[in-house]
Structure 1
């Protein structure tokens, strides 16, 4: 898909390619497009990648815009969200991300929208002093709702933002936690995650998705986020199950570990046995012995 300093798109990870059109049954579709929508005389330009969910005649648009300078460097990134049902005419959620010459990022959230049902904020400081700020915006209507996540990371409490993660979850269903479940509709659930950082003084942009989710899993996650004020991708049961299965492919369970690696057979009355416990203890001189462990880490 190209890299973050060329027109058209950024680094992309997902099951659907850009551009594409996918029909989701009779009444729903998803459309992925990229385009250059403005060019200046000095060779700089603006381009965008857009994800559009259309369900029963109404559309939700998520747009990622870039301003690309004549030298090919990206100077400005913005994320815009508009839902034809949830938003009144002209209303949008907008996140602007700009970069300083030093490589630091500044983030500004703007909205002229009145459709936000609730917001949550969270600040977390890790053991090394790194700070993660998270802002959550939930909107909802009769059969439609969504969650917008804006998360920034800093090396310390008073430092500049070093990386930004934005996630958008979209649900169109027979009913949501915010509304009455009276009418029949098409069930659709998707997510898009955009990660923005800097590398060698340039924007480093990765887009993950759109990825499809069971509606029930996203509605469960919305309830948990609202209750706890905390967001992480694994709060979606669907995503958590996928990660658990992927983890099992590389790290077997305790029972699998005990049966899956046979002990080396002993011959005669060999007494020089050695073992390494999980806590790092070593017994025996280990000459000609077998080493059994669940995790192995190699360092250069």
Structure 2
């Protein structure tokens, strides 16, 4: 389905689960929002007061293993990227995301549960024209042997991701996607977060991954994937990185017309590139209308199992 105007949800839909880092039970409800509202997180408080934060780049308070949003009072919600990816990936422009805990539930480690909730709620067109941020010139951030770059691209939004892990089972993988609701649903939404078994104790001691399990993360040792059900895609790790890019760059506040390339990236790098782009007013402009897009996804993937130079880390939730 293709919309020429802004969209929101027809009704409300709720999912419940646990936070991958906090381990706490949490309920999340997706609902409608007004024209030009964007994505708004609403955190219910014990005293009955709700805190609200708009999901935009300036609301990011941390990018350590997950994207955390907050305000002057401090962090409001962690691990925002998977639900944001589902909303942006399916072409929703405006939505409220109500949550009763500090972290978005991890569900199965992918965006599949949020896609199902959006399908349950339904998507409706609003009266205002859809707006986009069009990338006018390259904006690149280098971090050692990693880099991320936004650049002009005539057709919609294209994402190219390359990962290179020292873990020999993950190794080197590439994945590219031309984003539209169909390609997101079919090729990206079910790709799960991942991590390495030898990092678990380090993460626990740092206060992370308290809710991680084989039910919500792919877990690798140096020889194999430990999840008994196996991979959903041969290159699932790279696909999950694409999912995270979609969620992190949703914090632009509007859908993008352009391309993004990430090499050995993660939340921190995604946010750095987005921040650099937003700070350079000559690098982008706001346009209205439906961008041209290919009738079919032009996704392509090249997976590999060769060792890489980057240090392994996980659960990757990034």
**TM-score in terms of structure 1 length:** 0.25
**TM-score in terms of structure 2 length:** 0.24
Q: Name the structure with the higher helix share.
A: 2
Q: Name the structure with the higher strand share.
A: 1
